[in-house]
Structure 1
Amino acid sequence: MTISRRALLGTAAGLGAAGALSACGSNTGRGGGGSGGGQGSGPELAQWYHQYGEPGTEQAVRRYAAAYKKARVTVQWRPGNYDQQTAAALLTPGGPDVFEVNGPTLDQIRGGQVVDLTDLFDGPGVKDDFNAAVLAPKTYEGKIWSVPQVVDMQLLFYRKSLLKAANVRPPQTLDELVDAARALTNKTTKGLFLGNDGGVGAIGGTPLYAAGLSLVTEDGKVGFDDPAAARALGKLRQLYADKSLLLGAPTDWSDPSAFVQGLTAMQWSGLWALPAVRKTLGDDFGVLPFPEDGAGGRPSVPVGAYGAAVGARSKQQAAAKEFVKWLWIEQADLQNDFALSYGFHIPARTSLAEKADKLKEGAAADAVRYAGEHAYAQPLLWTPASATAYQDALSRIIKDGANPDTELKAVVRKAGEELQRVKKKSS
């Protein structure tokens, strides 16, 4: 499994940016580094990608660049700590013209390091054709700062035969998930796998959204200053206390090995795991969003998307924007190829996701529907400091049995201070 995808979806679920920075590129492996030039005429453009894990993708993006005729696009495939490399390069004249980014960040936008790409979405139905949840954190003050490339998402996998044998229905509420995990746990199989840390790293803010809340409200306030938040997180503690959770698995939540090997009846993982699960289990599995909690709750699916951005120090901004529009808005065949030929992801444009043959049936079709109906992404205003405070509290709640209400009150204070700081900085 690719740590780049895990990092991306971890931030979507409410983890700190520091975790994403340390993980990005360290287990992604879409090929090596180096550079390759396109065959077009016109201006020269440097395009950066972080190192992915799916074989064939590096060759694919070089092929896309070579197919573009209005500029000579040179692809740089950059292993290592890509986010830090990019952040540093954007401050210099030698940075990329076009670059892949899990963002951009609020500081990069406010600091004038990236170019406004809103006009690329002009035209009937263009903006509305992109998954709204992944486009939201790439939008600031009504302007769009990167073009989503593909959608990655987390899901709850469940083994149909094991649930049937235990007379357990696929859980539709968080209470049902707790009960199902308990009923499915026996001497050889645990009911649920949320990660070897009990879900701290993978689940993040998802239970808050399942309770009808959010990390940050649309008007920029703390979105979980509500008793429903403590109730939802208390149920995660119940899973841990019941010993229904698989802990100490050979691989962590992003890899489906524990699930396909029968170590757990249910597992929280990513859409990227679906082909491996299907190869081993055939039709003996299904997928669900994180179950809703409480009267005001709703099913919840964390999503994330790397996007294509243009560096503000580029001397070829107009040409760079034209290339981004060509590749990530106009070229439907290349976007489908990038999403589904080298891994398993959802095209960022809804119309393409609905037409993709690999996404039309079974669990894949369910996932596409969930991404359209129940998706959320980490808000742009959710700072690393807020994320760290929340994750630390979540760990104490799940593992140590700390009082959820007390822990969350402290996080609400910290997140409120961070939001005030961010707002002052923008005024």
Structure 2
Amino acid sequence: MPGISDSTWDRRGVLRAAGGLAALGALSACGSNTGRGGGGSGTSIKQMYHAYGEPGTQQAARKFAKAYPKADVSVQWIPGEFEKKLFTALLSSDAPDVFEFHPQIHLAHEKQIVPLDDILKDVKDDFNQADLASHTIDGKIYGVRMIDDPQFLFYRKSMLKKAGLKPPETLDELIDAAEKLTTGKVKGLYLGQTLQALQSPLVWSTGADLLTPKHEIGYHTDEVVAALRKMRRLYAGNALLKGAPTDFWDPASFTQGLCAMQWCGMWAMPQILQAHGDDVGIMPWPSSGGPGGRPVVYNGGWSAFVSSKAKDVDAAKEFVKWLWIDQKEYQREWALDYGFHIPPRKSVAADADKLKSGLAAEGVKLFEEDGLFDDPAWTQSMITTLTDVMANAVRGDADPDAELDKADRKINRELRRIFG
């Protein structure tokens, strides 16, 4: 159940969503009758999910919808290009009433979503406060966090031991370890097909932020430039697994022995443990060095939002409250029975016995010590722009400082559009 956006999707297409009639047709083809609720009031609610990869997730979503007594809830299960199809739908007359996504400021500023302070007011203290902060825009809370999905570097303990290595604590040590762990058909490290999943952790690991508290560019520093150069050296070498059949969110490359280390999420932990047992460790993305360097656990996740175009906004909010605030057993099931995720509700997390021992407990500890959350002001177009930097300066051989200069111009335009 990946807790971040599928990095192989065309993010440029997201920004052209208003003209995406083909995508809208594909969305309609997904159907809206995959999980009818049991309500008899005549009220209908359309709920949109991205297609989670873990077996049982779609059936669970349909079960939750059917159990809701006050409306007929339909489940749209969207395979591939979820963001593009979601953004297209939000601009159409066929917008979902409730959907899952990540907190982004433009959705609130463009009045595509509604505040949910009223349904959260009595339980705010029971939520992870960092989750609430990441969903707070202009003093109002948009979205109810469903799951927290920390991401780590998974590694094979036996392989590191055989190579005489300890878990790397800096980017230089990680590159060195990846090179020493590369033997025959086994590569030292897998970071995904495009490296997009590492772009925020890489910036954070230097001590920089994507944006400053004043909503100014924070990522363009000498330390980030140096880190990009190191990543280029890694990519140009022989230690990085390339051309894997699936992206970073799928642990198949790691479980099948194609690599000694892989960046992946807590959601994959049960599969990884089943494949390798106790021969697995986890670590944060290591510090990129320098006085401000820090280890990073990126905290992805998914949240429930209510569309401003909902046929009945109050009914949609009531459904979100019922499912993601009132139904703790469903919240526990969603977080723990289909991969491992950290429940954002403190009271639900307190009963999450599966996360209290072994590798899962280590993951929770790293999440609490080194976890960093999305900034809602870091918008979809900014993500795309930094993805281009990674493509050109790491997967390609362009000068990273020049690429960041280009990014600055685009992102400053976006910042002026949002904040004036």
Specify if TM > 0.5: yes
Corresponding residue to 2:144 among 139, 143, 147: 147
* CA–CA distance in structure 2, aligned partners of residues 219 and 362 of structure 1: 40
> Per-residue CA shift, 1:371-423, capped at 9, x if unaligned?
23322344222234333332222222223343333322332333223212221
The aligned counterpart of 2:65 is 65
Contact 1:103 1:306 in 2 (8 A): yes
The aligned counterpart of 2:271 is 276
Q: What SS does the corresponding residue of 1:176 show, helix, strand or coil? A: helix
Contact 1:58 1:77 in 2 (8 A): no
Question: Is it true that 1:79 corresponds to 2:78 in the alignment?
Answer: yes
Amino acid at match of 2:247: D
* CA–CA distance in structure 2, aligned partners of residues 366 and 385 of structure 1: 34
Q: Relative to 1, partners in 2 of residues 1:17 and 1:362: Cα closer, same or farther, differing over 3 Å?
A: farther
Q: CA deviation at 1:335?
A: 0.1
Q: Relative to 1, partners in 2 of residues 1:314 and 1:290: Cα closer, same or farther, differing over 3 Å?
A: same
Q: CA deviation at 1:132?
A: 4.2
Structure 1 segment 328-367 matched on structure 2, within 5 A: 328-367=324-363
Question: Is it true that 1:319 corresponds to 2:308 in the alignment?
Answer: no
* CA–CA distance in structure 2, aligned partners of residues 16 and 82 of structure 1: 10
Q: What SS does the corresponding residue of 2:5 show, helix, strand or coil? A: helix
Contact 1:9 1:153 in 2 (8 A): no
Q: CA deviation at 1:290?
A: 0.5
The aligned counterpart of 2:231 is 236
Contact 1:34 1:78 in 2 (8 A): no
Amino acid at match of 1:410: K
Q: CA deviation at 1:243?
A: 2.2
* CA–CA distance in structure 1, aligned partners of residues 405 and 236 of structure 2: 23
> Per-residue CA shift, 1:149-198, capped at 9, x if unaligned?
1122321010000101111001122222122112222334222111244x
Structure 1 segment 6-405 matched on structure 2, within 5 A: 8=5, 10=7, 16=11, 18=13, 34-40=33-39, 42=41, 44-50=43-49, 51-69=51-69, 71-80=70-79, 82-91=82-91, 95-97=95-97, 99-103=98-102, 105-123=104-122, 126-197=123-194, 200-293=195-288, 294-405=290-401
Q: Relative to 1, partners in 2 of residues 1:311 and 1:385: Cα closer, same or farther, differing over 3 Å?
A: closer
Contact 1:16 1:383 in 2 (8 A): no
TM-score (norm 2): 0.86
Q: Relative to 1, partners in 2 of residues 1:350 and 1:401: Cα closer, same or farther, differing over 3 Å?
A: farther
* CA–CA distance in structure 2, aligned partners of residues 194 and 353 of structure 1: 29
TM-score (norm 1): 0.84
Q: Relative to 1, partners in 2 of residues 1:92 and 1:340: Cα closer, same or farther, differing over 3 Å?
A: same
Q: Percent identity?
A: 41
Q: Relative to 1, partners in 2 of residues 1:309 and 1:162: Cα closer, same or farther, differing over 3 Å?
A: same
Amino acid at match of 1:240: Y
Amino acid at match of 1:404: P
Contact 1:116 1:143 in 2 (8 A): yes
Amino acid at match of 1:211: T
Q: What SS does the corresponding residue of 2:99 show, helix, strand or coil? A: strand
* CA–CA distance in structure 2, aligned partners of residues 55 and 332 of structure 1: 21
* CA–CA distance in structure 2, aligned partners of residues 249 and 85 of structure 1: 26
Contact 1:45 1:320 in 2 (8 A): no
Give the number of aligned pairs.
406
What do you get for the CA RMSD once the two structures are aligned?
3.0
* CA–CA distance in structure 2, aligned partners of residues 149 and 329 of structure 1: 9
Amino acid at match of 2:59: Q
Q: CA deviation at 1:88?
A: 4.6
Gaps of 5+ in 1: 25-30
Q: What SS does the corresponding residue of 2:249 show, helix, strand or coil? A: coil
* CA–CA distance in structure 1, aligned partners of residues 170 and 129 of structure 2: 25
Amino acid at match of 1:44: T
Q: CA deviation at 1:39?
A: 2.9
Contact 2:193 2:247 in 1 (8 A): yes
The aligned counterpart of 2:26 is none
Amino acid at match of 2:268: A
Q: What SS does the corresponding residue of 1:230 show, helix, strand or coil? A: helix
* CA–CA distance in structure 1, aligned partners of residues 192 and 67 of structure 2: 42
Gaps of 5+ in 2: 24-29
* CA–CA distance in structure 2, aligned partners of residues 10 and 91 of structure 1: 23
Q: What SS does the corresponding residue of 2:241 show, helix, strand or coil? A: coil
Contact 2:149 2:299 in 1 (8 A): yes
Amino acid at match of 2:272: V
Contact 1:9 1:302 in 2 (8 A): no
